[in-house]
Amino acid sequence: MNQIEFTLTDHVAVVTLNRGENRFNPGFVDEYLNVLDDIENNTDARTLIVTSGHEKIFSNGIDLDWLLPIIETKDIDVSKSFFYTLNKMLKRTLTYPLLSIAAINGHAFAGGAVWACAFDFRLMRSDRGYFCFPEADLNVPFLPGMLGLLNKAIPSQVMEEMVYTGVRLTAEQCVKHNIVKEAWPANQLMEKTMHFAKNLMKNRAFIKEMRHRMYKDIIYALEVEDIPYIESEIFFVK
């Protein structure tokens, strides 16, 4: 049974993540990428919305319960492969030929917040959830590609504070800093997001071309600059 599913309404594809806290591991990433391929190749969707079926969490990022034992047993090939796959997911989201919206209906932590930055727009639940990068407390340095995504979505001074302190921002604070476009109570979030999405019907070829022009530096970082860090196995620092 698929745990990441989509519906199509008025050329808007709504992807719902039903994998618990939606932590990134090979199974999650593969299923998400397959759903994006299905939408692109087999529907006439013009806009993409991604949200979570969890009542409190959009995504808690990398599945450390899966990854840490692999790193501890020094199964480096598996851990390296995962980070390359994760970059593939981030790049696919960034360069997807549909305008994209993250409907953040709960906490977006760590990699989940990084992933949210890859979308064109973010709308957030106003009555629950934080947007946060706790990597500084976990001693996990960001890869260059991830920093490129953060710079795309977050004003530089705010981004620096978030990266170095791990401060948790509410939806109201995210709106104030233009990290998210709008914030609504949970019972209105999807209705408002759908209304916003229906006004974003743009030509796929145009969007695809603009992606590669606007985000060439981020794409380069994901494809090239990240490689030495992944290959040197620097996933954590002491």
What's the CATH number where 124 sits?
3.90.226.10
Residue 148 lies in a domain: yes
Residue 65 main-chain phi, psi, to 5 deg? -65, -30
234, pLDDT greater than 80: no
Residue 1 has pLDDT above 90, yes or no: no
Percent of the chain exceeding pLDDT 90 equals 88
Q: Is the pLDDT of residue 229 over 70?
A: yes
Q: What distance in Å separates the CA atoms of residue 172 and residue 125, rounded to the nearest whole number?
A: 9
Give 62's DSSP letter. Answer: B
Model pTM score: 0.95
Whether 221 is covered by a domain: the verdict is no
Tell whether the model's pLDDT for residue 237 goes beyond 70: no
Cβ atoms 122, 180 nearer than 8 A: yes
Q: Is the pLDDT of residue 33 over 80?
A: yes
Q: Rg (Cα) of the chain, in Å, rounded? A: 17
Based on the structure, what is the number of domains in the chain?
1
Distances (CA, A) of 9 to 15, 43, 159: 11, 11, 35
pLDDT at 74: 76
In a domain, 63, yes or no: yes
Give the pair of three-digit tokens for residue 224: 């090239």
Asked whether residue 33 is assigned to any structural domain, the reply reads: yes
% of the chain surpassing 70 pLDDT: 97
Burial of 98 (0-12, 13-18, 19+ CB in 10 A): buried
231: left (phi over 0), alpha (psi -120 to 50) or beta: alpha
pLDDT of 119 over the 70 cut: yes
Identify the pLDDT of residue 236: 64
| Confidence band of 108 (pLDDT split at 50, 70, 90) | very high
pLDDT in tens, 183-201: 999 999 999 999 999 999 9
Indicate whether 235 pLDDT > 90. no
How far apart CA 22 and CA 113 sit, in angstroms, is 12
* 71 pLDDT tier (thresholds 50, 70, 90): confident
Tokens of 100: 């994209």
225: in domain = no
Q: Indicate whether 224 belongs to any domain.
A: no
Residue 220 belongs to a domain = no
- Whether 8 is in a domain gets the answer yes
Domain that holds residue 115: 4-197
The average pLDDT across 61-77 equals 88
The pLDDT assigned to 218 comes to: 98
